[in-house]
Chain A
Amino acid sequence: MRTEREAANLELRVLADAVLKGEIPDLEDLRSIESLRLRTGHGDDPVFFSIRSAVSDLDAVPSMSRRTLYSPAFLAESDAMCAAYLRDAAVDIKASCRALLSSSWL
């Protein structure tokens, strides 16, 4: 039976792989990585910095489960801002994911 830490590490690998396969990182994947980070026992590792920063900078972007609560105009503006940010940050975030996958502790 897996420990919580092992399960979090496994999930992190899957998410980091998904980010590397996409052209532009998906914010929901980054948010999932962020929520798993502290369960790994290595949450303060600098390898997470670019992801932590992106999730923090984009925290006003509604999550998928709450999008119905917002107006189409707001969502369009928010989505455009988010896409521009993630396009610009993609290189850094993918570098973090590569570093994460090669971490000795993962």
Chain B
Amino acid sequence: MDFFRDPRGREFAFNAFVPGYAVYACARDSCDGSGWALALGSSVLSVTPLGEAAALSRTARAVRVAEQAGNEAHNAVNALKLSKPLASEAQMGEKGTVIAGEGSGTVFRNASKAAGDHGGEAADWVKKSSSSYTAKDGRQFETHWLENTATGQREEFKTILGKATE
């Protein structure tokens, strides 16, 4: 993971990095300064302060910040591109809903495989889903992952795309 230091001396971690793009805009969350989003030419670099765990609320704010940054980024297409990866990141920070495994009423059929691949007991593994996000182009998506309810370990995040609504 790469790090950089801001003008106030705070260290930030790069969650993603797309080399070769010029920075279009840099926006800082004005609420408490903890959420940053750097809008790049065709992607988003989201920056999370080290040592802070409140990913959900911070990243949700970062989504709004990115949308604001998008408004400064000359066209609506860029705004759309900015919001999706950050929304996905926000979904990864959610508590999630168990859709298969203990507590869901549905058998998690890949529990043994999850235990084999990632350790632990099969009975501890569940499949979780984030809330659904609808982008401005109508495209909906969720994030799914496997979670060990005994340890909190999360594995195999994936984006589930829905059909665009009209």
A-to-B contact residues, CB < 8 Å: 4, 34-35, 37-39, 43-44, 46, 49-50, 52-53, 55-57, 59, 85, 88-89, 92
Report the separation of the CA atoms of residues A50 and B105 in the bound assembly, to the nearest whole angstrom: 8
Which A residues are in CB contact (< 8 Å) with B37? none
Which A residues touch B97, using CB under 8 A?
Answer: 44
Contact assessment for B165 and A4 in the assembled complex, using a CB-CB cutoff below 8 Å: yes
Chain B residues in 8 Å Cβ range of A39: 165
Interchain CB contact under 8 A, A89 and B165:
no
Given A53-B106, A53-B108, the answer on whether A38 and B132 have CB atoms closer than 8 Å is: yes
- Chain B hits for A57, CB < 8 A: 100, 109-110, 127
Distance A55 CA – B108 CA, assembled complex (angstroms): 12
* Interface residue stretch chosen among B22-30, B44-52, B156-164: B156-164
Chain B residue, CB-CB nearest to A35: B163
Expressed in whole angstroms, the minimum distance between the Cβ of B158 and any Cβ of chain A is 7
| A residues near B162, Cβ cutoff 8 Å | 34-35, 37-38
Contacts of A4 in B (CB 8 A): 165-166
Q: Does B144 contact A (CB under 8 A)?
A: yes
A52 to B144, CA, bound (A): 10
> Would you call A50 and B160 a contact (CB within 8 A)?
no
User: Which residues of B have CB within 8 Å of A43?
Assistant: 132
Residues of B in contact with A (beta carbons under 8 Å apart): 97, 99-100, 104-110, 127, 129, 132, 140, 144, 158, 160, 162-163, 165-166
Interface of A is mostly: helix
Contact partners of A38 in chain B: CB under 8 A? 132, 140, 162, 165
A85 to B110, CA, bound (A): 10
**B166, A56: Cβ atoms under 8 Å?**
no
Q: Name B129's closest neighbour in chain A (CB-CB).
A: A52
A-B contact pairs, 26 of them (CB 8 A): A4-B165, A34-B162, A37-B162, A38-B140, A38-B165, A43-B132, A49-B99, A49-B105, A50-B100, A50-B106, A53-B99, A53-B100, A53-B106, A53-B109, A56-B99, A56-B127, A56-B129, A56-B144, A56-B158, A57-B100, A57-B109, A59-B158, A88-B109, A89-B107, A89-B109, A92-B107
Q: In the docked arrangement, what's the CA distance between A85 and B107, Å?
A: 12
